[in-house]
Structure 1
Amino acid sequence: MGSSRQCFQRFLEQKNIVTNLLGKLEENTGVYYLPTGSIAFLAFCLIFGYGASLLCNLIGFIYPAYASIKAIESPNKDDDTIWLTYWVVYSIFGLAEFFSDIFLFWFPFYYAGKCAFLLWCMLPVACNGSQILYHCPIHPIFLRQQASMDSLVTDLSGQALDTAASLTREATKAGMTHLQKNK
């Protein structure tokens, strides 16, 4: 229990958007247990609240988007890789969730578990959830399927270009026919 309290205290001592917001709230309200109360309130909402889906998606999106923008603006490219890895895992999880959401919704505390999973994926440590999931199942599967995926993307982009050209020709032809009829 002591190590989690120390980890939480180190997080609160960092300067980021969350701690700045909590600091301003503490200054305005005079309540010094606001971080703990906020986290308890969020946990309560995730477990029992009607807005649990929205809250969980906001938690999984807002801070990573902010950190990604900061990573893009920084000269260090290692943080870019960290956040790109998070977004790959987040998108695969979102796709899997889309197809299984009708079943997962019925599991008790699903959104609390989903939020815990997303927080694990964005932990500011070298071996967080997104790094583990990317390097173990995702990267090997991608390497095995890369050639077929590349040919599929090439074929689809070629078909899309052909369809766009065909539609442009048809629209031009229909426009010219319409102009000739109105003369």
Structure 2
Amino acid sequence: MPVPPQAQKVLDDLEKQLHEPSTVTNVLGAVEQKTGVKRLHLVLGVLGLQAVYLVFGHSAQLVCNFMGFVYPAYMSIKAIESSNKEDDTQWLTYWVVFAILSVLEFFSVQIVSVFPVYWLFKSLFLLYLYLPSFLGATKLYHRFVKPFASKHSGFIDSKVGKFTDRVNNAAGKLVDEVRDHLE
């Protein structure tokens, strides 16, 4: 059965990355040499086990959130430290889409409890959002977020401005009360 071109591109990219020098690829190389199993197959096997765990495991939510936070946070740090602006934009876009997904997910708690493969699908969706082969966050941002934000920016800005004013007033009153109690 032929592999779809997009999936083949992901496999080719992964194969390439698995041969770049690093501590992990060195370990994979040693295991590959001793077992005769290609490192790509080793990684795909581990990913398969992780997929099963995301369906049946007790801490599937933790594993899924780890995937959604740790790697993107690390890559965001690298993007901040690099002189390339494109990677900054990619990771900022990811975090905007991730934040929207997190808010929507909060309101769909019932779906999570009824849908046993939710954490697997969410993990796959997160990979779609941030893997360079897909750049799904950029696609979703331009398709949905940007048009919505552009259309409603005046309304959003006015509400944020009013909220900021209220917070500043409340903070000022709190500081005054604390100051009065301390005197």
Bin of the TM-score, shorter chain as denominator length = 0.7 to 0.9
Out of 167, 176, 179, the residue aligned to residue 160 of structure 1 is: 167
Unaligned runs of 5+ residues in structure 1 are 177-183
Larger Rg: 1
Find the counterpart in structure 1 of residue 82 from structure 2. 74
Corresponding position: 1:114 with 2:138: no
Which of 1, 23, 26 lines up with 2:25 in the alignment?
Answer: 23
Greater shift in the superposed pair: 158-167 or 4-13: 4-13
> What is the deviation of 1:21?
5.3
Amino acid at match of 1:23: T
Residue of structure 1 equivalent to 2:67: 59
Partner of 1:147: 154
Paired residue for 1:179? Answer: none
Amino acid in the other structure paired with 1:98: F
Residue number in structure 2 paired with 1:136: 143
Q: How many residues align?
A: 174
In 2, Cα distance between equivalents of 1:119 and 1:16: 21
Cα gap change, 1:64 to 1:16, in 2 (>3 Å): farther
For 1:11 and 1:59, locate their aligned partners in 2 and report how far apart those are by CA, in whole Å: 17
Whether 2:42 is the aligned partner of 1:34: answer yes
- Larger relative CO (CA 8 A, sep 6+): 1 or 2? 2
What percent identity do the matched residue pairs reach? Answer: 35
Counterpart contact for 2:18–2:25, Cα < 8 Å: no
Ranges of 4+ aligned residues in structure 1 off by more than 6 Å: none
Q: CA deviation at 1:149?
A: 1.3
Look up the equivalent residue of 1:7 and give its one-letter code: V
Judge conservation of contact 1:22–1:35 (CA < 8 Å) in 2: no
Give deviations 1:21-71, integer Å, cap 9, x for gaps.
542442565454431221111111112211111111111122111111111
Aligned to 2:176: 169
What is the CA RMSD across the aligned residues, in angstroms? Answer: 2.4
Query: What's the offset of the Cα at 1:80?
Result: 0.7
2: CA distance, partners of 1:145 / 1:137: 12
Unaligned runs of 5+ residues in structure 2 are none
**Residue 15 of structure 1: CA displacement?**
6.8
Distance between the aligned counterparts of 2:86 and 2:8, measured in 1? 29
